[in-house]
Amino acid sequence: MSCCAPGAETALDLNGATWVLPSSQEIRLASRSLGDDLRQTDLSVPTVHCAACIQTIEAALGKLDHVESARVNLSTKRVAVRWRGDEVPPFVAALGRLGYEAHLFAPEIDDKDKTLAELIRAVAVAGFAAGNIMLLSVSVWSGAEGATRDLFHWVSALIAIPALAFAGGIFFRSAWNALRHGRMNMDVPIAVGVSLAYAMSLYETINHGDHAYFDASVSLLFFLLIGRTLDHVMRERARTAVKGLSQLAARGAMVLRGDGARDYLPVGEIEPGMRMLIAAGERIPVDGKIIQGTSDLDCSLASGESTPKNVAPGEAVQAGVLNLTGPLTIEATAAAKDSFLAEMVRLMEAAEGGRAQYRRIADRVSALYAPMVHLTAFVTFLGWIVATGDWHRAMTIAIAVLIITCPCALGLAVPIVQVVAARRLFENGIMVKDGSAMERLAIVDIAVFDKTGTLTLGQPRLVNAPSIDPAMLAVAADLAAHSRHPFSKAIAGFAIPGGQLKFDAVTEHPGFGIEATDAGSTWRLGRRGWAGWKARTGGEAKHGYGGTVLTKNGMIVASFAFEDALRVDARAAIDQLSDARVPVEMLSGDTAAACAEVAKSLGIDNFVPCLLPSGKLERIETLAKVGHRVLMVGDGLNDTPALSAAHVSIAPATAADVGRNAADFVFLRESLLAVPLALDVSRKAGSLIRQNIAVATLYNTIAVPIAILGHATPLIAAIAMSASSLLVIGNALRLEGFVRHAPAETVANDRHSNNGGRVQL
């Protein structure tokens, strides 16, 4: 850990305190067998940065017993560890000691990205063919005649075959797919243009003609494939980054058998009636009932309640809530497929609304464009036959029209802008799942926010610290350091360095608080009723009986008030959205009082409290029905159906796994300014896309008459097509200058993001 402290990417250091090491059973469950007793585990290590990190990690892991090899992939920020034997080597703990937080990665059967490999291979083949054919074409243009020209044409025709078969296959398949389903996409005119151009050029070559368009058809494929590959790389990077976030859902649980044996079972194998042990810091895997133990549960991710809930035996618990303070024994009342989580997924799948109906700009344009182009070519053909009666000439000119209008620029106009925009967002810690998300975000007219975990951090903050005796606050902070309860963590932040008291025997009473003795006196930090057993409760009723107090020998010496800490820049983000003419609404599962407070401090006029997940969904659907295009920003399990029902959705990296997967955008940094930034970039990308389409159309209105009149030669076609593509790409790059520059904190990351821009080309 020399050159770059892992802290540099604090945004990824999400919920450090609630992070528990995955148990060895869990690691074994998430590893895959390579045969011959060898197993591989993939870990996501978001904080690897540089050569020193690679060396430290690989050396440290390589030294562990039974570890066969460890290999860091810096681009994806993952470590692949290969190990043998029954015992799982303690590699997560070893990484933790080095200061790297590691998350287990779901085993992937198909490790390599097949589509990307196919695209890159196609680009390589098309590039090779385009280069060589262009070389031959230049000789033809500069005056090769007779047998030499024919030879060059024949060689070009030969080189073009593998390019068309291999690189063109991607377009042919997509075009065929679209036509078969009665739809139209940009690939249809491309496929028609390329194959007709090739066929006619071959005919010309056989008849010793000079109108061969081999160069045009192959370089068209080459340009389009570059755009398509960049687009794919960008989306894949975003998806990899999102997949690398820590998994929040439980992967399995320790099941207590009737005979006292303990087994670690994957979530899918837990059946109703089984008893599970849930340690403090673990999430509850399936719905259940508490048999034994008391604890505090953090329900913020499941229901949106910000205050931890105190639970005792007999109470029901939902899958997905986090056990904070004490160990619990739970009897499963539902299997995973019937649990809360699965219900959310079902609601989410049923809600798939706005985005499924959305048709991408490129598809809408091509639905207009393709028939027009094909009709123009056909009319040209008829016109020339009527005018001259020369079949061959009419055919040549009609195909020249098709080639000139082939949507090279149009095919690049949209993806190139989206690649540049996605990269801009990536540098600011915002991951875009696909290009259509940006198109959809650009047209939203109302934003709906979840409260807990989205507008707020879902973590309490001590509000009355200045009014508390500093000495007492220091005592409380020292005590609080022993607990993972969110209130304790908030108080522990006020510890005075060095001034530690020596407590004897600190014990945590789950559900109540922390107790410690020091020189004969007993200190307690926790619920009023438990800690202040000598005090007359009832006074200071403002915080209720549940208020948190510090007591010395039963006498209250300090009381603490908390509020849910607002996310960084929440207010600024809401203001910016309002400036962008996107009104904001807040939907929450939390109480009306808690919502009102947050709404007031953020200046939000509309909010609906106490909503069930289906209530949020209904609200979104109502808004959509009256014609609004809704942006949903949320993190909880209970937001998931709403996230997928909305026109477009954004989730923070701290969101529940399902929510993260359902959302179109995921932002990794803490600041909520990511939302207006994404909106801003998307809108600018939208206007650039329109400009690009206008440029491409303008090009056609100039070039098409030339082609119709029969003046298009292969040379003119080649120049016109390349020029329009370059124009469109140049216009897309203007987006880089448009958008506000990233705040200073991103500088550390920029180097890495920039490297990623240098794609495999």
Partner 1 sequence: MRTLAYLIPGTLLLGGLGLSGFLWALKSGQYEDLDGAAERILVDQEDKPER
Tell the smallest beta-carbon distance from residue 147 to partner 1 (Å).
7
Verify binding: residue 746, partner 1, rule CB under 8 A.
no
Tell the smallest beta-carbon distance from residue 113 to partner 1 (Å).
9
Q: How far apart are CA 551 and CA 151, in angstroms?
A: 97
Verify binding: residue 147, partner 1, rule CB under 8 A.
yes
Residue 61 or 125: which CB sits closer to partner 1? 125
Give the footprint of partner 1 on residues 191-210 (CB under 8 A): none
Q: How far apart are CA 308 and CA 301, in angstroms?
A: 11
- Of the ranges 120-128, 170-178, 248-256, 680-688, which one interacts with partner 1 (CB under 8 A)? 120-128
Q: Which neighbouring-strand residues pair with 81? A: 41, 70
Verify binding: residue 163, partner 1, rule CB under 8 A.
no
Residue where the block lists tokens 């208020």:
547
Tell the smallest beta-carbon distance from residue 255 to partner 1 (Å).
39
Give the footprint of partner 1 on residues 422-461 (CB under 8 A): none
Verify binding: residue 85, partner 1, rule CB under 8 A.
no
Which two three-digit tokens encode residue 728?
């469109």
| Amino acid at residue number 110 | D
Q: How far apart are CA 643 and CA 636, in angstroms?
A: 10
Residue 51 or 279: which CB sits closer to partner 1? 51
410 neighbors 736 (Cβ within 8 angstroms): no
Report the length, in residues, of the chain.
761
Residue 553 or 760: which CB sits closer to partner 1? 760
450 neighbors 634 (Cβ within 8 angstroms): yes
Q: Which of 14, 29, 57, 120 binds partner 1 (CB under 8 A)?
A: 120
* 450: annotated active-site residue: yes
Per DSSP, the three-state class of 444 is coil
Tell the smallest beta-carbon distance from residue 589 to partner 1 (Å).
41
Residue 183 or 208: which CB sits closer to partner 1? 208
Verify binding: residue 148, partner 1, rule CB under 8 A.
yes
Residue where the block lists tokens 């303690």:
90
Which residue from 402, 472, 343, 449 is spatially nearest to 189, judged by alpha carbons?
402
Q: How far apart are CA 494 and CA 470, in angstroms?
A: 9
Strands (E), 36-102: 38-44, 67-73, 78-84
Q: How far apart are CA 567 and CA 569, in angstroms?
A: 6
Tell the smallest beta-carbon distance from residue 50 to partner 1 (Å).
6
138 neighbors 75 (Cβ within 8 angstroms): no
Verify binding: residue 135, partner 1, rule CB under 8 A.
yes
Give the footprint of partner 1 on residues 549-588 (CB under 8 A): none
Q: How many other C-beta atoms can be found within 10 angstroms of the C-beta atom of residue 75?
A: 11
Give the footprint of partner 1 on residues 9-68 (CB under 8 A): 50-52, 54-55
Q: Which of 92, 159, 473, 480 binds partner 1 (CB under 8 A)?
A: 159
Long-range CB pairs of 391-398 (<8 Å, 24+ gap) are: 393/710, 395/200, 396/200, 396/204, 396/209, 396/211, 397/707, 397/708, 397/710, 397/712
Residue 147 or 505: which CB sits closer to partner 1? 147
CA angle 414, 417, 419 (to 5 degrees): 105
Residue 166 or 264: which CB sits closer to partner 1? 166
The shares of helix, strand and coil residues in the chain, as percent rounded to the nearest 5, are 50, 20, 30
Give the footprint of partner 1 on residues 99-118 (CB under 8 A): 112, 117
Verify binding: residue 615, partner 1, rule CB under 8 A.
no
Residue 149 or 616: which CB sits closer to partner 1? 149
Tell the smallest beta-carbon distance from residue 241 to partner 1 (Å).
13
Verify binding: residue 124, partner 1, rule CB under 8 A.
yes
Residue 239 or 752: which CB sits closer to partner 1? 752
Tell the smallest beta-carbon distance from residue 733 to partner 1 (Å).
22
563 neighbors 553 (Cβ within 8 angstroms): no
SS3 labels along 257-312: CCCCCEEEEEHHHCCCCCEEEECCCCECCCCEEEEECCEEEECCCCCCCCCCEEEC
Verify binding: residue 155, partner 1, rule CB under 8 A.
yes
Q: How far apart are CA 469 and CA 488, in angstroms?
A: 17
Q: How far apart are CA 373 and CA 402, in angstroms?
A: 7
Verify binding: residue 758, partner 1, rule CB under 8 A.
yes
Strands (E), 16-66: 32-35, 38-44
DSSP letter (8 states) at residue 316: E
Tell the smallest beta-carbon distance from residue 529 to partner 1 (Å).
56
Size of interface with partner 1, in residues (CB under 8 A)? 32
Q: How far apart are CA 496 and CA 498, in angstroms?
A: 6
- Of the ranges 148-156, 292-300, 363-371, 669-677, which one interacts with partner 1 (CB under 8 A)? 148-156
Residue 69 or 115: which CB sits closer to partner 1? 69
Q: Which of 92, 95, 125, 413 binds partner 1 (CB under 8 A)?
A: 125
Tell the smallest beta-carbon distance from residue 63 to partner 1 (Å).
13
- Of the ranges 74-82, 303-311, 523-531, 547-555, which one interacts with partner 1 (CB under 8 A)? 74-82
- Of the ranges 143-151, 224-232, 235-243, 509-517, which one interacts with partner 1 (CB under 8 A)? 143-151
Q: Which residue in 450, 478, 564, 569 is the catalytic one? A: 450
Enumerate the active-site residues. Answer: 450
Positions that interact with partner 1 (CB under 8 A): 50-52, 54-55, 69, 72-76, 112, 117, 120-121, 124-125, 128, 131-132, 135-136, 147-148, 151, 155, 159, 752, 755-756, 758, 760
